[in-house]
Each structure stands twice: as C-alpha cells, then as structure tokens.
Structure 1
Amino acid sequence: MIRNGLFGIVALALLPGAALAQMHAQHASEAACEEPALRCATKVTPAFGPDGTLWLVWMAGGQVSVASSQDAGRNFSVPVQVTTKRLNLDWGPDARPKIVVDRKGGIALAFSIFRDEAFNGQVLYTRSADGGKSFAELKPITANNESQRFEALALDQDGTIFAAWLDKRNRVFAKEAGQKYEGAGLFFTSSNDGGTTYAEAKLAREGTCECCRLGLTFAAPGRPAVIFRNIFEGGVRDHAVMTFTDLSTPGDIHRVSNDDWQINACPHHGPSLSVAPNGTYHVVWYTNGKARKGLFYAHSRDEARTFSAPMALGRPDRGPARPFVLASPAGTLMVWKEFDGEKTSVQMTTSRDDGETWSPPRTIASTTDTSDHPLLVANGRQVYLSWMTKADGYRLTAIEDQP
C-alpha cells in the first residue's frame, strides 16, 4: 500500500517561451532521422562529472556520440563522435550506451553492437583522457568471439571501473559435450586505469536470462552488487542479486521474489538496483509470473539476503513499464512509464523513510510519441529525470524537494 509521504515533486521545464522552442529545434527528434545528432537519438544516457558537468552519450544514425552541458541540459557542447563509421548498434529495448566520469575528468564508455543476423553481440569500450575532446580507438571488452550484450558500468570511490555483461561463450562447450545450454553467463571485469584497459573477463554466474539489462552499483567500496534475471529450476526467470566479496570474487545469489515466471523466451525488460548510503538495497522490476504480474519494488537491509514483500507499482490498466530506482541523500525515488491510450507519462513516487512508505505516484513528464526509458541521475543532492522523447527531444527535469 502506498501512503502519503513528505516528499513533494515539482517538474521544471528546461526553458520557457521562445527559448524552449529554440531548444526543441536543437534537440528534438524527427521522423526518419538518420543523423548522429542528439535530436535523432533513440537511447540517451546521462552522467554528472565531479565538477557538475552533465555528460550525455547517445545512439543515433548508427553511431555513438558524446556532448556535455554546463547548465543542466539547457545548452550542449558540439558533439564528439565516438565511432568513426556507422555500426549495427544493439537496438534491443534494454540496450543503451553506458558512461562513467571519474574524479580526474576521465570518461569511460561501453556499448554493444550486433555482429550478425543471429543477434550475437560484442561489447566495445573506449575512454577519453582529455575531457571529452577525443576518444581512444574502440576495443572489445573481452577477446572471446561469442556473444556479449547488456553491459553495465559502475565507478568505485577510488576510480576503479567495474563492468558486467551477459555472455554466451560457454554454450560452445555445452554443445560439444552434447548438453543443453540455457540463457547466458554473467561475466565481469574491472579497470584500474580509468577504462584504458580491463582485466581478463571472469564468470560470475551461469544460467542467467540472456536478454535483460543488468542493474549494477557499488554496495560498499570494492564490493559491486548486480541484479539480474536468473533462470531458476523449472525454467523460472525471476530476479536475483549478487554482491561481490571484492572486485574479483563473486558472492552468492539471493532471490528477490518468487514471482514464478516460467518462460522460455526473452522478456527484454530488466531491473534496477540502488544501494543507499546506509546499506539498504532498493530494487524494482517487472514480472509476468503466476504469483504476480506488473512492476514491483522491494528493499533489503541485510545485503540482499532477504527482501521485503513486493509492493506493486503503477496502474495495471496502463501497462506500467521500464522502472528505475535511485537512493539519493534527499530520499529514495522511483520512476516508470505508463500509457493511457493517448499519451505516455513518467510516474514518480518517493520515500523519506528508506522505503518503508511512499508518496502517491504523480506524473512528472509526458509525451504523445515514442520515448526512451526514464532514468534518474543525481548531482550531489539534486536529482533529475533524464528522458528522451521523439516529439520533445532530450529533457533533463529537476526534481525539487519541498517541505
């Protein structure tokens, strides 16, 4: 049950009047738009640098580009193309380029491409050491030639970058042994030089669902935590969390919820994970199981060993989808999309008591056209909604704390 909270939400427009119209002309998307410009982007991922600069990486026209803003998304620098030619970028619903910015201003990127018509992927990475002016040559994150997709990046306090992805290399050995191979493996690596090089990839877990985004963060310094859709006994694809003992040692997996979604297919609808400063794990996910259907939230106060009872999100008659959670110094926030038959809206709810109670959901943005997933990004205590829509282009909306 969602109860009244003390956290008020105000959605701020980027710019009023003529200035807003000008911004729409610069950043709005267009039908059949094949240029690498931001206005043509289908997937946009934000990150704040330590100096407050907003960085965006996006996919458009078969290329990946980066730009920065010094005024919270009102104006952007001239884009820098990370790719030198048009690529078959992974266009799956849960795929997007990833970005982290370290304390020295180094920018690490990763994204995946399709290598063939069977949707076998490859994760590529690069880094900028000059403040985004240029990027190093693209390299594969692992030398293995099997399929890798759904990469995730997280930045540790000391600047170490941790990367995880879904990898199908072990299906080759299973086939040679005449064994059945389901799903994919959760693989990982790390970089201690800002994303210039990565250690040899290692297996964390076999038998994960092969086509849903990962939720990745640090539970504590040196201890990555990842949420993923696991394949449990009987082909049930429910969510699990793994917290690493250190950067090279995977931990046990713990089931988030018994949704009993038995499916031999790809949901393409991954979860989200955020760990609060006090160590509480906040998770949100989608399921279509026998036990429950729709979007759900739960939290854990014992490093994901056990979770609270799932709390339903959104209106079932409006198809709630694409959830994202962020535990910030100002509170815990969740966003997701709903469709009422005419427009898609971003709904938000907030908690001031570490996930015990939540404010009534409210609409903070909407569009009558197609849109990217809603994301939350923080710059210190200030949290923003990051959302790309075809009709209105890129929007960075400040979420204000009101008494």
Structure 2
Amino acid sequence: MVRSGLLGILALACLQGAAHGQMHGQHASEAACEEPMLRCATKATPAFGHDGTLWLVWMAGGQVSVANSHDAGHTFSAPVQVTARGLNLDWGPDARPKIVVDRQGGIALAFATFRDEAFNGQVLYTRSADGGKSFAELRPITANNESQRFEALALDQDGTVFAAWLDKRNRVPAKQAGQKYDGAGLFFASSRDGGATYAEARLAHDNTCECCRLGLAFAAAGRPVVIFRNIFEGGVRDHAVMTFTDVSTPGEIHRVSNDDWQINACPHHGPSLTVAPNGTYHVAWYTNGKARKGLFYAHSRDEGRTFSAPMAVGRPDRNPARPFVLAGAAETVMVWKEFDGEKTTVQMMISRDDGATWSPPKTISSTTDTSDHPLLVSNGRQSYLSWMTKADGYRLMPIEDQP
C-alpha cells in the first residue's frame, strides 16, 4: 500500500471529520477534538437490539466507545470505553468499528488497529454479556501475526456471529517460494458463543483486493454471503459475491459486473450488500473501470449466480460515492453521498418492487463540513439514515419522514 496514495484519497474524499454533541444529536464539535467522546467521533456504526434499543459504537481519540439510546438517537447513555488506552486505530476511509446485538442483549464488537507505519493491521474483538455495561478484554480474532483489516460482522438467526476480513498471511509463503502474491485473502471465522470466542480462521478466497470494505449478510439461516472487490485476471479489480454453503464452507465466487477496472492500487471504496426477505441480493458499488465509471446498482434473484444489468446511480458531475443499500419486507432503500463543490448531500432512492424500478433521487440530508459515510439501519419496522457530521453531530433520521 502506498502511503501518499492513501492520504490523497483521504484528502479528496474528506472522510475523517465527524463529531457530535456531548451525548446529544444537536451539538457539534470543537475545533480540536481528541477526546474519546461521541462529539469527537470520526466513525460511528449503529445497530438495533431486539428490544428496539439503538446501540452506537464509535472511534475517537484513539479509543473505541459504546453508548445506547432509547429515543431514536436524540439522547444517549454515558459512554462505555471498550479500549483501556489509546490505540493506533485503523483510520482508512473504509475502516470503522463493527457491532452486532443478539436477542439476549449480548454485544459483539470488532475493529482494526495499525501495527506499524506500513499499514499492517490487526483485527481485535470483544463482547459484552451484561448489556453494554462492560466489555471483555480485547483479543485478536486470529493468532496469525500478518496483517488483517476490513473486518465485517453479521448475526445469524441462531445467534452465531460470523466474521470475515482481509488477511495478508499468504504473502509470506508465496515470497518464500519466490512467487508473486497479489492482494490479500478473504478469511472468515464464526462464533457460537455470541462473539466471546471465534473458531480458527479459514481462507475463503485468495488474491482479493486488499483495501476495500466488505459487504456481509445472510442469504438464509446458516448461509453467509460476502461481496468484495476481487482481483480478476489481468489485474482487474471488479466485484465478486460468494455465498457460503454453511458458516464453515465457502462457495463459488460469481462476478457482479465486468467493469474492467485495471488498477494496481487500492481504491479504498468498497461495496454494499443486503439480502431481501425473499432472497433477492441487492448490491451497490463504485468503479472507475474502462467499461463504466461511477456508482452502480444491480440485483440477483438466483443467489448471486447472475446479476441484472448495472444501473447508474447519482449525478456523475457531483462525485457520487459511498453507497449503502438496505432491504426490508416492503421496500429497498439506497443512499449515497454527493458533493457539488460547496456542500455534501446524502441522496436517497427507494424501490418498492424488489429493485426492478426506483424512485427519483432526492436529498435527505446535507452538510457544508466533513462527514462520515451514510449508513442505513433498521429496527425491523422502520429504516433510518445514520450519519455522523462534523457540523451537526450524529443524525438518526427515519426514512419515510424525509421531505
């Protein structure tokens, strides 16, 4: 990974600023904010518990913290620090702490740190068994000492926590054998005890792009699905989907779209995946390939074996970026960011026919300062936009209430 390239992408995307009031959504940040409080957060990730409680995990001041809200994000509980000291947290554009909450109120967390200046990472995990009052000691998700980054967590119906991440361990034997090694490996592990311990890490697919977020969901009980940027023949970094036979058995990979993005670098711009209750895969991604450029959406009705023709998303003259898609029983929602030279907006489209057609894009939020990626989260009845901005703090906005 080239440091100057990564920093350039960071600067252009304006991804590292976000803040929040002192545990309240209407307050903004101060100019210099190095505390672990939510108002200083650069990345914040939401999850709803089974009882409707909103949980939020964030990174700020080199630490990871968690709080909850019983009033849809208007106020939050006092934060609980997951980390006992400041860490060199992975600050890349596609990095953020991950959280899942099971039916018993157990909370599983995972996040990555940098081990060195060469961006070699380590994925750490922890669990709370007392409703977020305290968290267990941090542990590495694998004993391997090579780089792991871009972890993703998903919760199965039976409470199994499934984790996937990008892992560089296979570069060592390749180098020893005098062979070229491109990218990283897609590794995975599952936890049968709510994220307290994980099975031994296993390889799902090798030679993936090494620096883009993963999309992770379940196609059915016991069947995880991962979308990732793969390295295809000729150094083409297009997206692929893998559906597992079960939590221990990877499946075949299928190409989402032939964008022909041939690049020997790190896009730092990963895809989004959601699986509708009827089994339809909805995916959104960014590409700068020869065949197409910009944001695109497609769906699959045969478990990822084939996908619909890519549909362009957003205005090309406003640098559309960071798509996120979420499917519910009645509708599928997609959001993304655009920048018009003065302000950043979150755009939204809704499909009520399983991705066949979409409503016209409309602006649902905006900021003139820096911001995190827009996320979508659901409590099973209502979908929300979750967005952290420096100027206005944390926002949780019900989708159908948008003007």
Letter in 2 for 1:289: G
Distance 2:27 2:134 in 1: 22
Q: Rate the CA distance shift 1:61–1:276 in 2: closer, same or farther, 3 A.
A: same
Matched residues, percent identical? Answer: 86
Distance 2:281 2:54 in 1: 26
How far did 1:21 drift? 9.2
8 Å Cα contact 1:126-1:138 kept in structure 2? yes
Q: How does 1:300-311 map to 2 (within 5 A)?
A: 300-311=300-311
Alignment of 1:254 with 2:251, yes or no, is no
8 Å Cα contact 2:44-2:57 kept in structure 1? yes
Deviates more, 1:29-38 or 1:167-176: 29-38
Alignment of 1:183 with 2:183, yes or no, is yes
- Structure 2: tracts of 5 or more residues without a match: 1-19
Q: Secondary structure at the match of 1:71?
A: coil
Q: How does 1:59-98 map to 2 (within 5 A)?
A: 59-98=59-98
Distance 2:330 2:39 in 1: 32
Distance 1:21 1:243 in 2: 41
How far did 1:330 drift? 2.9
Q: How does 1:180-259 map to 2 (within 5 A)?
A: 180-259=180-259
TM-score normalised per structure 1: 0.93
Letter in 2 for 1:258: N
Q: Which residue of structure 2 lines up, in the alignment, with residue 16 of structure 1?
A: none
1:219-256 superposed Cα distances (whole Å, 9 cap, x missing partner): 10000000000000000000000000001000000000
Q: Which residue of structure 2 lines up, in the alignment, with residue 273 of structure 1?
A: 273
Q: Which residue of structure 2 lines up, in the alignment, with residue 17 of structure 1?
A: none
Q: Which residue of structure 1 lines up, in the alignment, with residue 367 of structure 2?
A: 367
Q: Secondary structure at the match of 2:230?
A: strand
Distance 2:328 2:318 in 1: 28
Letter in 2 for 1:245: T
Q: Which residue of structure 2 lines up, in the alignment, with residue 287 of structure 1?
A: 287
Q: Which residue of structure 2 lines up, in the alignment, with residue 13 of structure 1?
A: none
Q: Rate the CA distance shift 1:57–1:173 in 2: closer, same or farther, 3 A.
A: same
8 Å Cα contact 1:30-1:391 kept in structure 2? no
How far did 1:381 drift? 1.8
1:17-54 superposed Cα distances (whole Å, 9 cap, x missing partner): xxx99976875233220000000000000000000000
Letter in 1 for 2:259: D
Distance 2:118 2:22 in 1: 42
Q: Which residue of structure 1 lines up, in the alignment, with residue 47 of structure 2?
A: 47
The higher relative CO (CA closer than 8 Å, separation ≥ 6) is in 1
Q: How does 1:327-366 map to 2 (within 5 A)?
A: 327-366=327-366
Q: Which residue of structure 1 lines up, in the alignment, with residue 137 of structure 2?
A: 137
How far did 1:380 drift? 1.4
Distance 1:219 1:179 in 2: 36
Deviates more, 1:218-227 or 1:323-332: 323-332
Distance 1:380 1:194 in 2: 20
Letter in 1 for 2:81: Q
- Structure 1: tracts of 5 or more residues without a match: 1-19
TM-score normalised per structure 2: 0.93
Letter in 2 for 1:85: R
Q: Which residue of structure 1 lines up, in the alignment, with residue 11 of structure 2?
A: none
Distance 2:128 2:340 in 1: 42
How far did 1:399 drift? 1.2
8 Å Cα contact 1:370-1:389 kept in structure 2? yes
Letter in 2 for 1:276: A
Letter in 1 for 2:250: P
1:154-178 superposed Cα distances (whole Å, 9 cap, x missing partner): 0000000000000000000000000
8 Å Cα contact 1:29-1:38 kept in structure 2? no
Distance 1:209 1:28 in 2: 36
How far did 1:328 drift? 1.1
Q: Secondary structure at the match of 1:259?
A: coil
Distance 2:283 2:265 in 1: 23
How far did 1:400 drift? 1.6
Q: Secondary structure at the match of 2:39?
A: helix
Letter in 1 for 2:65: S
1:86-107 superposed Cα distances (whole Å, 9 cap, x missing partner): 0000000000000000000000
How far did 1:329 drift? 1.9
Distance 1:219 1:351 in 2: 20
8 Å Cα contact 1:29-1:41 kept in structure 2? no
Q: Which residue of structure 2 lines up, in the alignment, with residue 105 of structure 1?
A: 105
Distance 2:22 2:227 in 1: 40
Q: Secondary structure at the match of 1:196?
A: coil
Q: How does 1:151-166 map to 2 (within 5 A)?
A: 151-166=151-166
Aligned residues: 383
Q: Secondary structure at the match of 1:236?
A: coil
Q: Which residue of structure 2 lines up, in the alignment, with residue 392 of structure 1?
A: 392
Q: Which residue of structure 1 lines up, in the alignment, with residue 168 of structure 2?
A: 168
